[in-house]
Amino acid sequence: MKRSNLAAILVAALVMSLAGGSALAASGAGAINLTFPIGARYNALGEAGTALSQDVTSVWWNPGGLAFLPQRPKQNDVQMMQSKLAAGLADDIYLWWGGYAMPMGNHGALGFGLNYLNMGEQQGTDENQQDTGVFRSYMFAFSATYGVRVSRTLGIGLGVKYFRDKLADDSVLQDSGGGGSGDSFGVDLGVMYKAPALRSNFGLAMANLGPDIKHVDADQSDPMPRKATVGWAFSAYQSEFMGLLVVADYLVPLYKWKDNDYGFGLEFDQTEYGVGLEWNYLRSLFVRLGYKSADYGEINDTTFGFGVDMNEWVGTAITFDFASVPQAEGLPRVNRLSLGYRF
């Protein structure tokens, strides 16, 4: 396969990032599997969770939130999420995420996450447009995160991850010098502060701080999808039976290169924001509504979903969450499903 075929694969990956509604990936960042928000709950809330997530999904949203996991009645948390990314276009393109978090004493927690993006089957061709065989493309990232509570209201966290993709077999690309696979690593940092007097949480997170992903050569490398996000969560109403939460996130990409692999600059022309409302009955039935705006993908649309926590009804903390989120303009919406278990 010629180098142009590799370029075609990269373009296909870019199209898929748009199909998932990610403005970050649309701007040229690699590791697009790391740009799709995790957890159907937060997807339904305008893709906002930086100041709200305090379970295993904190390994994606904010490592500082993981520090508050030991305060929960059931301290071990397992979750998984599945989402098709090109609904109506290709049935074999989908995202899987799974994670597990456990307490480390009374003031800290350790979490792990595995993110896998299946990009389906690709048909290779040579310079004469002759078929050279079918191959599969994928991306995955494994992360480990530790959060610790330094005071009653302040949690900080640190996460590390390893990323690898396989766009094509190097043997298929042998006449272009290889480049079908690439890898990198990233570092995540996060802080969550609880202000009980204001009935609010505040979060700040930086994610995917790492070197570029090289495939063919350094000049054709892709940056990790680095970002900084600030978030706010507010308990607007809480009674014995019902509650109402308000959340908001504001995201700024950090992947504008300077003079080396680790230099970055803010890109305020490609920011994103999301807001959401969550109503609950007995903390068991949840209805969620949000709004997502990402100008680069021309995304300005609502998100919505619902959730069920079975702990109140059967004594077993099994959760199910559903979210419907917009994609880039002109593409159909996608559904995301999450399943969780606390013990």
Name the pLDDT band for 41 (thresholds 50, 70, 90). Answer: very high
C-alpha 144/C-alpha 162 separation (Å) is: 9
Name the pLDDT band for 181 (thresholds 50, 70, 90). Answer: confident
Residue 74's CB: how many other CB atoms inside 10 A? Answer: 12
- What is the average pLDDT value for the chain, to the nearest integer? 86
* pTM of the predicted structure, to 2 decimals: 0.87
State how far the alpha carbon of 321 is from the alpha carbons of 144, 148, 190, in Å. 24, 27, 25
Range scoring the smallest mean pLDDT among 11-15, 27-31, 94-98, 213-217: 11-15
Give the model's pLDDT for residue 298: 82
pLDDT at 282 over 80: yes
Name the pLDDT band for 219 (thresholds 50, 70, 90). Answer: low
- In 35-180, which ranges are E strands? 77-84, 94-103, 108-125, 131-149, 154-166
pLDDT at 155 over 70: yes
C-alpha 171/C-alpha 178 separation (Å) is: 7
Give the model's pLDDT for residue 12: 46
231/119: higher pLDDT: 231
- The number of C-alpha atoms within 13 Å of 48 and in the hemisphere containing its C-beta is 34
When pLDDT is averaged across residues 229-252 and rounded to a whole number, the result is 97
Give the model's pLDDT for residue 196: 97
Give the model's pLDDT for residue 133: 67
pLDDT at 124 over 80: no
When pLDDT is averaged across residues 50-68 and rounded to a whole number, the result is 98
Give the model's pLDDT for residue 13: 45
Give the model's pLDDT for residue 10: 41
Can you state the percent helix, strand and coil of the chain, rounding each to 5? Answer: 20, 50, 35
Name the pLDDT band for 142 (thresholds 50, 70, 90). Answer: very high
Do residues 317 and 68 lie in contact, with contact meaning Cβ atoms separated by under 8 Å? no
pLDDT digit string, tens, across residues 283-333: 999 999 999 999 777 899 999 999 999 998 999 999 999 999 998 777 789
Map out the domains of the chain as residue ranges.
Answer: 3-342
Residue 137, token pair as written in the block: 């493309």
pLDDT at 128 over 60: yes
* Domain 3-342: assigned CATH number: 2.40.160.40
Name the pLDDT band for 5 (thresholds 50, 70, 90). Answer: very low
